[in-house]
Amino acid sequence: MRQTTIFLLAATLTCLIDITVSVAVEPDEVLDDPMIENRAREISSELRCVVCQNQSIDDSDADIARSMRLLVRERLLAGDSDDQVIGYIVARYGDFILLRPPFQANTLALWLTPPIMAIVIAAVALLYCRTYQRRRIKDTRPHRLSLADRRELEALVNRFAAVNLAPSPHNSLSNEIKEGLNPRDPDANTGEGKPNGDGTPRPA
Amino acid sequence: MIAEIGQYVLIIALVLAAIQSVVPLWGAARDEARLMVVGDRSAIAQAVALLIAFAALTHGFITSDFSLTVVFQNSHSLKPMLYKVSGVWGNHEGSMLLWVLVLALFSATVAIFGQNLPPTLKARVLAIQAMIGFAFLAFIIFTSNPFARLSPVPLDGTGLNPLLQDPGLAFHPPLLYLGYVGFSMAFSFAIAALVEGRVDAAWGRWVRPWTLAAWAFLTGGIALGSWWAYYELGWGGWWFWDPVENASFMPWLFGTALLHSSAVVEKRDTLKSWTILLAILTFSMSLLGTFLVRSGVLTSVHTFATDPERGVFILAILAIAIGGALILFALRAPGMKGGGLFAPVSREGALVANNMLLTLAAVTVLLGTLYPLILEALSGGQSRVSVGPPFFNATFSPIMVPLVLLVALGPFLAWKRGNLRMAFGKLVPAAIGAFLAIIITYLMVPGGPALAPLAMGLAAWLGIGAISEWSGRIRLFRSHPRDALRRIHELPRSASGMTMAHLGLAVMIVGITGSSAWRAELVTTLVPGQTAEGPGYAVTLESVIEGRGANYIFERGTLLITDGGRPVAKLNTERRFFPVANQTTTEAGIRTTIFGDLYGVIGERGRTPETADAWTVKFFVNPLVPWIWLGAMLMAVGGFLSLSDRRHRVGAPRRAATALTKRVPDSAE
């Protein structure tokens, strides 16, 4: 156990140092046929360097990554299809080698959570649209202030009246307050400080 | 001696944090100003104490005091001064000290400049900040003491990772922490509001500047880190979906959502409990990021298990902070009903959709990052999978496409009830631009992936959409230019900031598309003087010289890049060997133009006798790649521009309030 840990640490460390050395694919690995070389690169970027932290064999300079790159090219030259090459590598190293985890029992939650979440979000959004429509129809009539709000407003009016030395009927402020008491726009009243405490609109 | 002072003030800071987490809370509950003011004073004192501690550690690094374990492990007498200083936070202990220092500085800012906050809210915010600070100070003192001494004193240090000897990386962690820890303010405000049971538009106005600042810093920090990876790691990639990168990207995604939903709270006084939840989640991601990077859990669950002390400590902090916050949220949020009704098609509606998509994206990244760890832990190491870039590219991009489509549309919709037909009418130029971009890209670059022209169209849609919204607001084409200039001046800076950030996103998409779709490379071996035909260019290895730098020796290769015989660029690329650390780094030679980068590196000299004169040469054409960082810069600058908006300036709410009370008697006369 302890030895495994030390091995893993050492392997990771070499890998970290190797990252810094240079880019991965060496000139002597590059195949003459650009088509096959491109396929090899595509496959390499899907395969994990087993001793590294989150690096593909295409990016890693570790020796094992190099031998895996050579293996991929060897299989491609032997006439394998892309899937066959990946299958060959997975058979040797296991699913851990795949940077795109396969869709199977232990990755169901990984692959399905985002789409399920998207569907749930879409459903909630649809539900909101429908309740909004319904509430709009119900809310088209203006509603009155609750008793508590009315009292608070009256207190405010009185306070302002005390400040105003010469109250006039054309005072814009008192007009505004009156407008506030009898709103014309139904939506304008649904903000904070709901018209009434229990949340249900009352008929005018 | 100085290190002991640092140790001493660190403990004082811990005690102050303990006091500050209790007394103001108690004062707020009993509404006693005398107790609440304790929070202000101890917040300021704590910041001063931590500044002293940080200065003490910096002194240790500058004077190369190798009796300090941290300095011995992370510094070296031969290191350039800049990197001695940046070495302070280039290690675990020092970076945690920087973390709490930034936290304390933010708290002190609230204490000093937050006079217009309601006293109980301020007291509670400071108490929550102090609780976070207490947890991390305890973590530092008990598991990661930066002032631990060594005996006998070593003669010299063991150096610093030469990879970190780079200005890009030296300033990347402080920026990142300003972002991470900045979100603690949103968190503390959210918890304080839950305790108070009160969230209103004013709360939104107080939270917003903090979120904006944290977001802009984090944007800058992530961009700087990615830029560093691009030019330093040596293979021209700039984002690897590495868990460490994801750790900073998750708070960014949630933080972006928070930024937008706090605008709704401020302007329309609705979406409150959602915004609170987002504030909690954003900071939780910051904590999680700290945990992932600092606990060693990423290397392997096994390494985590062999040295669990630090990891378990942070895990406990994580569980208490996130769990506690979410329980409080569950208890208090249902009581915070209210908020204006809005139509599905409205500015609020668009912002909710933005929030949903960003949350979905963040959850996807979170899932992909943690899934291998969770699976390995649950199966006892039996079941292991890798989640790498192919997974993230496959799941992340489909979420981003509708988001980007929406970003152009949202600002055209009115609050409460928008008019979709009118909004689309105003987007006609954007649609035409997108169409042209698709056609032009398709015709100009026939060989690339089929999706690339569509992505360019998307960028054009967003960019032109953002600009036309802004130019519509200043009536650029419908009035005299002088009038338009005046309107630019009168336009709230937050509006211009938003346009700039959205434009930045468009620019970034161009860069991402260009660099990932049309990248071309040449990998070969060259003897000095030899030429190879690369993609679009011929590459000549002119010379390779050897030399000595500050604390390394180098091989410098000069690559001459020609296009049809005409010289285009000369790239100087270095392989540096650091004897102290026994490590080699690569400095890429990069020629940047607005159209993209020419990127060259030399590798090792050949190993076999026949190839002993030849060097490995790698040459990349990275089209449009500078646009990525240009875009990120626009986003960050847009954030700061928005931050400088009148209404966020400290004290603005109070001034507005006094102005109002003054005006009332006037209008009566």
Report DSSP letters for B604-635, one per residue. EEPSSGGGTT-EEEEEEEEETTHHHHHHHHHH
pLDDT computed for residue A190 by the predictor: 41
| pLDDT: which is higher, A145 or B491 | B491
| Residue positions counted in chain A | 204
Mean pLDDT across the stretch B526-545?
A: 90
Give B652: exposed, middle or buried? Use CB within 10 Å, 0-12, 13-18, 19+: middle
> Partners of B591 in the beta sheet?
B598
More confident residue, B256 or B307: B256
Rounded to the nearest angstrom, the gap between the alpha carbon of residue B63 and the centroid of all alpha carbons in its chain is: 32
Instruction: Write out residues 60-79 of A within 8 Å (CB-CB) of B.
Output: none
Residues 6+ away with beta carbon under 8 Å from B577: B552, B553, B554, B583, B584
Model pLDDT for residues B323-347, shown as the tens digit of each residue: 999 999 999 888 776 667 788 888 9
pLDDT value of position A196: 41
Interface residue of B244, B345, B383, B386 to substitute, partner A, most A CBs within 10 Å: B386
Cβ–Cβ of B667/A173 closer than 8 Å? Answer: yes
Q: What is the CA radius of gyration of chain B?
A: 27
pLDDT band with cut points at 50, 70 and 90 for residue B435: very high
Question: Which residues on chain B are in Cβ contact (under 8 Å) with A10?
Answer: none
Angle between helices B652-668 and A147-163 (to 10 degrees): 70
Cα radius of gyration rounded to whole Å, chain A:
35
pLDDT, tens digit (0-9, with 9 covering 90-100), for B475-503: 777 778 888 888 888 888 888 999 999 99
Contact call for B417 and A187, based on CB within 8 A:
yes
Domain ranges of chain A: 2-97, 104-138, 143-204
Collect all residues with Cβ–Cβ distance below 8 Å to A157 and sequence separation of at least 6: A174, A177
pLDDT surpassing 60 at residue A182: no
Q: Which of A61-75, B42-56, B167-181, B558-572 has the highest mean pLDDT?
A: B42-56
Whether residue B469 has pLDDT greater than 60: yes
- Chain A residue numbers with beta carbons less than 8 Å from the beta carbon of B269 are 191-192
Question: Rounded to a whole number, what is the distance in Å from the CA of A133 to chain B's nearest CA?
Answer: 8
pLDDT tens track for B502-521: 999 999 999 999 988 888 88
Distance of CA B58 to the CA centre of its chain: 25
- For residue B49, is pLDDT > 70? yes
pLDDT at A202: 41
Q: Is the pLDDT score of B389 beyond 60? A: yes
- Residue B161, SS3? coil
Specify the pLDDT at position B539: 92
Chosen CATH of B520-623 out of 2.40.128, 1.10.10, 2.60.98, 2.60.40: 2.60.98
* CB pair distance less than 8 Å for B388 and A20: no
Residue type, B400: M
- All structural domains of chain B with their residue ranges: 1-165, 427-518+628-639+656-668, 520-623
For B100-118, how does the pLDDT look when each residue is reduced to its tens digit (9 = 90+)? 999 999 999 999 988 888 8
Task: Give the distance between the most distant pair of CA atoms in chain B.
Answer: 100
- Please provide the average confidence, as pLDDT, over all residues in chain A: 72
pLDDT number for residue B105: 95
- Residue B59: predicted pLDDT: 95
What is the overall mean pLDDT for chain B?
A: 87
Provide the percentage of residues in chain B whose pLDDT is more than 90: 47
Q: What are the φ and ψ backbone dihedral angles of B78, each rounded to 5 degrees?
A: -85, 0
**A18 vs B604: CA distance, rounded Å:** 12
> What pLDDT, on the 0 to 100 scale, is given for residue A84?
92
- Residue A32, chain B, CB below 8 Å: the answer is no
The reply to whether residue B601 touches residue A118, judged by beta carbons under 8 angstroms, is no
CA atoms of B205 and B200, how far apart (whole Å):
9
Is residue B272 within 8 Å of residue B262, measured between CB atoms? no
Task: Say yes or no: A104 contacts chain B, CB-CB below 8 A.
Answer: no
Tokens matching residue B225: 């880190």
Angle at alpha carbon of residue B243, lines to B142 and B207, rounded to 5°:
70
- Across residues B246-253, what is the average pLDDT? 94
Q: Percentage of chain B surpassing pLDDT 70?
A: 93
Which chain A residue is nearest to residue B267, measuring alpha carbons? A191
Q: What is the pLDDT of residue B579?
A: 82
For B:293-322, CB contacts with A below 8 A are 298-300, 302-303, 306
The pair phi, psi for residue B89, each rounded to 5°, is: -105, 5
**Chain B partners of A108 at a C-beta cutoff of 8 Å?**
none
What type of residue sits at position A71? L
Question: Looking at the predicted structure, is the pLDDT value of residue B653 above 60?
Answer: no
Q: Which of A111-115, B48-52, B522-526 has the lowest mean pLDDT?
A: B522-526
Quick one: fold of A2-97? Helicase, Ruva Protein; domain 3 (1.10.8)
| Residues 597-636 of chain B whose Cβ lies under 8 A from any Cβ of chain A | 601-604, 616, 618
Please calculate the CA angle B603-B608-B609 and round it to the nearest 5 degrees.
115
Chain A / chain B CB contacts < 8 angstroms: 180
One-letter identity of residue B657: A
Interchain CB distance below 8 Å, B356 and A125: yes
Residues of A in contact with B341 (CB under 8 A): 132, 135, 139, 187, 190
Q: What is the pLDDT of residue A192?
A: 40
Residue B536 has pLDDT above 90, yes or no: no
Asked if B667 and A191 come within 8 Å (Cβ–Cβ), the reply is no
